[in-house]
Structure 1
Amino acid sequence: MTIEIIGVFIIIAAVIFLFAFEIFPMDKISFCIIAALLLTGLVSPEEAVSGFSNKAVITILCLMILAIGLEENGAISYLAKGLKILKNWPIVLAMLAIMLIAGSISAFVSSTAVVIVFIKIVAELREKYQLPPGKLLLPISFASILGGSCTLMGTSTNLLVNNIAARYTGEKLGFFEFSLMGVIFLGISMGIIAVFYRFLPKDTGELSDNYDLNRYLLTLTVEADSPLVGKPIGESFMFKETDITVLRLTRNGYDQNLLNHELLIQPNDIILLHCSLENLQKMRGEGYFEIDVEKNDRFQSTKNTQIKKVSDSDKKSKEVKQSKDENLLLELLLLPGSKFLGRNLTELKTMLIPRAIPLAVNKRKKLRILKNRLHQSNHEFTQLHVGDRLLIQTKPEYVSNFENSNNLAVLNQFEGRTPATPFKRNLSIIILVATIAMAATGVFEVMTSVITGTLAMLLFKCVELNRIYEKINWQIIFLLAGMIPLGIAMSNAKADTWITEELLSLMAGQQPTFIIGLLFLTTMLFSSVVSNNATAIIMAPIGISLASGLSLDPRPFILCVMFASNFSFFTPLGYQTNALIYSMGIYKFKHFLVIGGAISLVLWGVGTLLLSAMLN
């Protein structure tokens, strides 16, 4: 083992540690990788930045743009429009039908975009037809991942592995070459979920009924003319309402004793509440506080919401005004890659003004330990993470901005949604179909096809450049750009060759089926700790080297790494869509461990047999 190989292994170990414990965001880890490789001399400067011009990365970037065009013009929602017919179906059949639709769309569109759209669709199905979200969202996430494994452009992992295969073997995978296996995996997984669907969370149609997802953290600042001033806190509406929990009252920077119900509320007291959306609306309607988006100068302070007595004349003038220009409440879901991650409500407010005012945040996964963390500041309390739900107030003309945002998904609102233009919607679908046709028939290679499709989206104004810059998940792009040089460093240092030689000596005399099975399992476990893309970049060269050392066809080994990188279902960490669904608070870790674990184990066995059969 050379010093260079040891250096590569140290960097890989550090990367695994950083990913596993989420010490830094993905893009920051990527820059750490590039810097470490340059400082140690494991790659040249040109190789260190080669990830930014890599064909797979450019292809993935263009696919993201195509997905943005489809989503902004309502194409994905249109393709899923017929789901309302499922309202009278048995829940297990409805679940399987939705999985099939989500999987089919994900074969050609980003799985993350598909899941985000289906979250909105499921929210509507729950509201209108009482279909339980707990029975649908996890299967949708799994189906989108499995559907993406059916075509070459289905997932970024497929494109990365194909690019590595072309570099090492000179051969590329066909567009539909592995589609049959992908369909088999999807069908088997649907059957497993149908068996285990009773294990999925039960609910009665309202997310808030069993999962408390309709409750928010809300910080209120008491003004001098508030009706609460001078009242004992125990006699205030906050203590009388059973659905409102007072978590903290801060006065002059010091937390007060809430056990003292005779504590008098004073001006400038800061009260942290945990309450339902219904109670928040009630307080808003009864004049406990008033927020006007146009008068946003008063929100430049560090307070989130102000409690203020509203006079009768104010109410009358407000009623007249609302008849012409009514403010809306929107419920939003914070998405991966959002520029709002790590921000608090005060910072978010500055970013949203003048379009909207953030009122409250639902931090579902942290509510169970809130009372143990009351020593923290309000800013630490309300720091935003993936899956947090935001409640904002805005005006009708700004609703489309939030619906089209890649940072936030609109889950609920009080007015009808802005309809997509049918012409642009149909045109974006035609562009996608043409792009797929060019790539699938071999007229052009995949990168050329998606660049052409992206150009068509721009020329026909199906998507604007400023929207692209805003909505692209740059974390993924930078992750890939950082991981690709790590793969080059492994090759330069001959680390992949050393690993292969050691594995071959350990597995001497073993059947190819055993070796493929071990590679599949190792890759799948690795993907549960590190991202699927990072796993593919590290494991694909090893798989190809194993095939070369055994004098076997490399294709089964290439496909083994590709499938296994995507099939880590037993934790919510292996894939972005699973992390998003988990962070919503509907599912517990055990749902991934039991249902996802069963799927991963079965697919490991079936995949090993199918891939081994390719060697005969």
Structure 2
Amino acid sequence: MSIAIVLGLLLLAIILFAVEIFTVDVITVFILICLCLFKIITPKEAFDGFSSDFIIILAAIFIMVGALKKTGVIDTFIANLVNIKKHPPKVILFFVMIISALTSGFMNNTTVTALMLNPTIGMSKQSGTAPSKMLMPLSFASILGGTCTLIGTSTNVAVSGYIAQQGLTRIGMFDFLPIGLILLGVGMLYMMTIGQLLLPVNSKEDLEEDYSVRKYLSEAVILENSPMIGQKIADSDISKQGFSIVSIIRNKQNFVPNMFTKIQLDDVVLIKGNVDDLLKIKDLDGVEIKADLLKLDSEENELHLAELMVIGGSETLRNTVERINFRQKYRLGIIAIYRKGKTISEKIGKLRLKVGDLILVQGEKESIDLIRTNENDFIILEDYKPNLHLKRKGIFTIGCFALSVILGSTGILPLSIAFLLGALLTVAFKCINPEEMYDEIDWRLLVLIGGMSAFGIAMTKTGADKFVAEYIVKIFEPMGAYGILGGFILLTVLLTQPLSNAAAALVVLPIGLQTASQLAVNPLTFAIAIMLSASVSMLTPFEPSCILVYGPGKYKFLDFVKVGGLLTFILMGILVMIIPFFFPFKV
């Protein structure tokens, strides 16, 4: 009966994770409560996962990476990539992929992709190459770079922590580096050859639609002194400036005007135009972009423009601009909104935000910097030069990070203590303040990992892991140990589609370890296979770093299935062949 309860809760968790009605931390806590209510595990066992040292390691990494983002030193380093723009496109692509991979070996791959997005688009434009030929390779390289080190992904850290809890040998910082380098090398070779043949090529019209000439929707308000009052749409100054008038909001009514419609006082005219043209609206008498009418509490400070991209997991998704109180929450005025492939005719305040929407905002530099340091809702698509003071702090933070890696990987200090020391130094020397420190930690991910570790205990106590392991062995036993290993790799890859990579790995891991025990083989062979297979799943654009390039690259869903699917199956085959070589079945 207890096995049925645990497996039923596992199935329920997978469904809830997939449909995303609730956040992953809420689902995890709910599952833990159920396990305690059914007396499958004790309260102590439920919370043991949260006291593990790998939770400390992840939190410390979040803090140091947050400090690096705040100082902008990584932004500057990556922005300097444009210096290689004179090289052939293949050379540029190689540099983009190798730098992305090397950086993501020590940083979150989503952050790396976000930082490199603009420079990569700039280089592709300057080299005459379609952005679609470079952006998907960028995201894939950042994902594969995480397979090279223990701290490359949260999945690696979580798996290492779990197997240590089971009394097995803890995975070292660079123990699987050779495997990661092989995966990265194959992935880069694939994306520079076969991938280039399969990737779509944007048409000339698509290439024109880059960040500088993108057609945004904006709201222009007709003021009392406007000479356009009484003018016909076709003869109005707005039309003469080359704007497309989408609709007019008059007396709270939204309608599509014809060429004979006359403009009236207080009309809100929804217009489409690129960024440069929108700013020229200021030169027209009696017309203002609606954001300019907002009081930002400080008129003496210089106002800046920035483009924000709405990302997956953002709390703003499916909410309207008015409902989220955008101006009050972020202290930024929205000038315009762009949505790829859609003609927007709604009032901006009534528009429900979606992943990939681009928002042109105006506000003080401090408000824009705040968005930059907290990338939970948006990423900024702009160049940024940090001041010298912040640059010094950024270099100091890199030093702290490097010190943590050296102390932890050489065994001078336990890994958790080494990274905790690095995080403490960044806070002590004010590279990041305490309030920002707590904001940078992804608490939802920590709750997920801690909770799923407890779920692994429940599977072991009830024998659910043994039950499932026997079933999997029965199916794949005719193919031998390699076949069974391949079955677990395939299962993990498939589960990463509805689940996060970390959740998928922690669901499969207890079953894999039990299977290794039944086969009397090295449990590390299965643990490493499950861990790395969670990071090579590129079947769909659901991975956060893939979502970031989905819109700018103008990809279709099937582009990822075609290009990423083939690469995923190639990498799965390589994992089956090389993992037993580096981590033999027989110890």
| 1:247-279 CA distance string (max 9 Å, x none) | x434444443x2644333444444444432233
CA drift at 1:280? 1.5
> Are 1:331 and 2:304 matched, yes or no?
no
Query: What secondary structure sits across from 2:432 in the alignment?
Result: coil
Who is 1:217 aligned against? 217
State the distance in 2 between where 1:88 and 1:232 align.
Answer: 50
Contact 2:173 2:409 in 1 (8 A): yes
Change (3 A) 1:344 1:473: farther
CA drift at 1:239? 5.3
State the distance in 2 between where 1:176 and 1:205 align.
Answer: 45
Who is 2:199 aligned against? 200
Query: What secondary structure sits across from 1:507 in the alignment?
Result: helix
Contact 2:233 2:262 in 1 (8 A): yes
CA RMSD, 1 decimal = 3.3
Who is 2:503 aligned against? 534
Change (3 A) 1:204 1:385: same
Change (3 A) 1:396 1:578: closer
Who is 1:467 aligned against? 436
CA drift at 1:28? 4.0
Who is 1:249 aligned against? 248
State the distance in 2 between where 1:416 and 1:290 align.
Answer: 30
Paired-residue identity, % = 27
> Are 1:104 and 2:102 matched, yes or no?
yes
Change (3 A) 1:545 1:276: same
Who is 1:314 aligned against? none
Change (3 A) 1:405 1:523: closer
The 5 Å alignment of 1:440-459 reads 440-459=409-428
| 1:367-418 CA distance string (max 9 Å, x none) | 43x56xx6x775452x3344322211123565544444434433237x9664
Change (3 A) 1:427 1:503: same
Contact 2:68 2:397 in 1 (8 A): yes
CA drift at 1:157? 0.5
Change (3 A) 1:359 1:227: same
Contact 2:76 2:386 in 1 (8 A): no
State the distance in 1 between where 2:435 and 2:544 align.
Answer: 25
CA drift at 1:516? 0.8
Who is 1:352 aligned against? 330
CA drift at 1:163? 1.4
The 5 Å alignment of 1:557-576 reads 557-573=526-542, 575-576=543-544
Contact 2:73 2:386 in 1 (8 A): no
Who is 2:465 aligned against? 496
Gaps of 5+ in 2: none
AA at the equivalent of 1:491: T
Contact 1:185 1:603 in 2 (8 A): yes
State the distance in 2 between where 1:477 and 1:203 align.
Answer: 40
Change (3 A) 1:398 1:524: closer
CA drift at 1:293? 8.2
Contact 2:243 2:273 in 1 (8 A): yes
State the distance in 2 between where 1:49 and 1:226 align.
Answer: 66
Change (3 A) 1:158 1:463: same
| 1:503-547 CA distance string (max 9 Å, x none) | 223334431011111111111111122110110110111111111
Runs of 4+ residues over 6 Å off in structure 1: 127-131, 204-207, 291-295
The 5 Å alignment of 1:8-87 reads 8-80=6-78, 83-87=81-85
| 1:324-372 CA distance string (max 9 Å, x none) | 854332222334554544543331112123xx322222233xx43x56x
CA drift at 1:561? 0.3
Contact 2:305 2:361 in 1 (8 A): yes
TM-score, with normalisation over the residues of structure 1?
A: 0.84
Alignment counterpart, residue 382 of structure 2, candidates 402, 412, 431 = 412
CA drift at 1:139? 1.4
| 1:159-194 CA distance string (max 9 Å, x none) | 111112112243211221110010000000001001
Query: What secondary structure sits across from 1:88 in the alignment?
Result: coil
TM-score, with normalisation over the residues of structure 2?
A: 0.88
| 1:551-610 CA distance string (max 9 Å, x none) | 11111101110011111111111x321222225463222221122112111111111011
